[in-house]
């Protein structure tokens, strides 16, 4: 029998004599404002904001959530459990796949789990990766189209691992019906995918929705969907539940319209807006992919994000994860925790050990923040520095990729 340990965790040494060129370049970008991946240099940094930029109770919710805090995603991990196979809408950019290890995108999973299997998997991952702080249910269908499985999973996990944050991602159609249940289980992070607030636009994205035991199509379907999404968002805001809005940028269909989406969700209290590029490769088998609908260029995506940025927090570090992702953003360790492997593991959930480990991670994080502040101070004294340097990275702030 294998025994779970902290072997999969990251090191937490707070001092390192080697200069990290990635950090240096980040400071130089930040010298004029907030330079992050794809950042615009504005003073308001959205998901990269720190404790001085928000109320303490909000900071406590987001400081170690890798999706809600850009800085946290370098230090803390998340996992998704695939307990929700059914979906109540059809999106032209989605094709849910089972047992597909070669695709990394939303809606794809290798294994579907029961709530009991999911609970065991969460304990196994949390015991092996002590910096895993967040458990999300994101599919492969819609969690709220599978409410019994979703909330039974949350119930089991909250009983055995109350220190883990719970979150879910939904299309929002059924959200108003389940907001009270979401609050009951202290799920304080909810992501809603909102691609339009105008049914004229929405009818080109959603072929149908299944609502009140009827399949609705076209304009009528999109109208019901956007009304339910807006109502659900307002209800979350009233209960103090943080809402992140995901929007898929589809050139020629909703790219210009997403500015209106941004205004609508901001006015209803959304905490964060994540505009993602359409994934439209034909081999994925989606309607848009098979019809030749292109995705946005990096320049188009950044221009739209910049246009929407202001008082609204913008997420720019999304990796468009699988519905069974495990690990830091940008990595996937789900193959280490297949059902057959976790069933052989003897898991002892050490909440105090996890707490101590995360305190060490936080100490390292704060040490880096202090070091960055010192470097920025040095840059201010040195005056403007004008350099043009090209580097390549696979992520995590490390230069580890070559050109060509």
Whether 269 maps to a domain, the answer reads yes
pLDDT at 368: 76
| Mean pLDDT of the residues in the chain | 77
pLDDT at 332: 75
pLDDT digits (tens, 9 = 90+) for 323-332: 677 756 667 7
Q: Which residue has the higher pLDDT, 321 or 236?
A: 236
**Cβ atoms within 10 Å, residue 209:** 24
pLDDT at 37: 33
Answer whether residue 31 shows pLDDT above 60: no
Average pLDDT (155-184) is: 94
Question: Rounded distance, CA 19 to CA 16, Å?
Answer: 8
SS3 content of the chain, % helix, strand, coil (to 5): 40, 15, 45
The total number of structural domains in the chain stands at: 1
Whether 398 maps to a domain, the answer reads no
Q: Which residue has the higher pLDDT, 193 or 129?
A: 193
| Bond prior to 114 in cis (omega within 30° of 0) | no
pLDDT at 399: 74
pLDDT at 319: 52
Which of 159-173, 283-297, 336-350 is the most confident on average? 159-173
pLDDT at 18: 40
Please list, in sequence order, all residues whose beta carbon lies within 8 angstroms of the beta carbon of residue 28, skipping any fewer than 6 positions away: 35, 379, 385, 387
Average pLDDT (176-200) is: 95
Whether 266 maps to a domain, the answer reads yes
pLDDT at 153: 96
Whether 102 maps to a domain, the answer reads yes
pLDDT at 283: 77
pLDDT at 71: 61
Q: Which of 68-82, 226-240, 266-280 has the lowest mean pLDDT?
A: 68-82
Average pLDDT (100-110) is: 47
B/e letters for 77-102, b = 16+ CB within 10 Å, e = fewer, are bbbbbbbbbebbbbbbbbbbbeebee
Q: Which domain holds residue 320?
A: 38-337
Kindly tell me the sign of the dihedral angle through the C-alpha atoms of 15, 21, 22, 25: positive
pLDDT at 102: 35
| Cβ(375)–Cβ(381) below 8 Å | no
Whether 244 maps to a domain, the answer reads yes
Q: Which residue has the higher pLDDT, 198 or 344?
A: 198
CATH number, domain with residue 156: 3.20.20.70
Whether 333 maps to a domain, the answer reads yes
* Residue reference for tokens 């199509």: 217
Nearest to 193 by CA among 223, 222, 171, 168: 171
Q: Where do the DSSP E strands lie in 181-303?
A: 189-193, 208-211, 214-217, 242-249, 272-277
Q: Which of 79-93, 133-147, 281-295, 383-397 has the lowest mean pLDDT?
A: 383-397
Q: Which of 56-70, 227-241, 340-354 has the lowest mean pLDDT?
A: 56-70
Whether 107 maps to a domain, the answer reads yes
Question: Rounded distance, CA 141 to CA 145, Å?
Answer: 8
* Residue reference for tokens 């010298």: 31
User: For the chain, what percent of residues have pLDDT higher than 90?
Assistant: 38
Whether 66 maps to a domain, the answer reads yes
User: Mutual orientation of helices 147-160 and 115-128 as an angle, nearest 10°?
Assistant: 40
pLDDT digits (tens, 9 = 90+) for 378-399: 766 666 666 677 888 766 556 7
């Amino acid at each position: 029998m294998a025994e779970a340990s902290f072997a999969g965790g990251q090191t937490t040494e707070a001092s390192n004599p080697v200069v990290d060129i990635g950090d240096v370049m980040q400071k130089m970008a930040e010298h004029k404002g907030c330079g992050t991946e794809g950042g615009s240099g504005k003073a308001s940094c959205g998901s990269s904001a720190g404790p001085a930029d928000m109320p303490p109770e909000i900071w406590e919710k987001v400081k170690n959530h890798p999706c809600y805090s850009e800085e946290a995603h370098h230090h803390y991990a998340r996992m998704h459990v695939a307990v929700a196979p059914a979906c109540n809408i059809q999106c032209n950019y989605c094709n849910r796949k089972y047992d597909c290890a070669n695709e990394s995108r939303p809606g794809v999973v290798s294994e579907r789990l029961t709530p009991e299997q999911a609970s065991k998997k969460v304990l196994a991952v949390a015991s092996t990766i002590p910096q895993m702080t967040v458990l999300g249910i994101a599919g492969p269908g819609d969690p709220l189209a599978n409410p019994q499985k979703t909330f039974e999973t949350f119930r089991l996990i909250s009983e055995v691992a109350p220190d883990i944050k719970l979150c879910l991602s939904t299309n929002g159609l059924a959200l108003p019906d389940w907001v009270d249940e979401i609050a009951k289980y202290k799920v304080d992070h909810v992501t809603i995918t909102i691609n339009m607030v105008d049914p004229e636009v929405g009818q080109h994205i959603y072929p149908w929705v299944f609502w009140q035991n009827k399949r609705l199509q076209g304009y009528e379907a999109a109208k019901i969907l956007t009304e339910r999404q807006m109502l659900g968002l307002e209800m979350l805001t009233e209960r103090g539940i943080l809402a992140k809005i995901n929007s898929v940028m589809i050139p020629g269909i909703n790219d210009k319209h997403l500015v209106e989406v941004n205004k609508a969700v901001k006015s209803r209290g959304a905490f964060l807006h994540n505009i993602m590029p359409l994934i439209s490769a034909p081999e994925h088998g989606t309607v848009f992919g098979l019809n030749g609908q292109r995705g946005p260029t990096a320049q188009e995506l950044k221009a739209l994000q910049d246009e929407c940025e202001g008082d609204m927090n913008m997420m720019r570090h999304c990796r468009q994860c699988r519905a069974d992702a495990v690990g830091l953003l940008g990595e996937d360790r789900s193959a280490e925790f297949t059902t057959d492997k976790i069933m052989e593991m003897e898991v002892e959930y050490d909440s105090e050990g996890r707490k101590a480990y995360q305190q060490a991670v936080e100490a390292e994080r704060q040490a880096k923040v202090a070091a960055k502040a010192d470097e920025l101070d040095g840059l201010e004294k040195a005056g403007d520095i004008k350099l043009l340097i090209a580097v390549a990275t696979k992520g995590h702030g490390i230069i580890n990729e070559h050109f060509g």
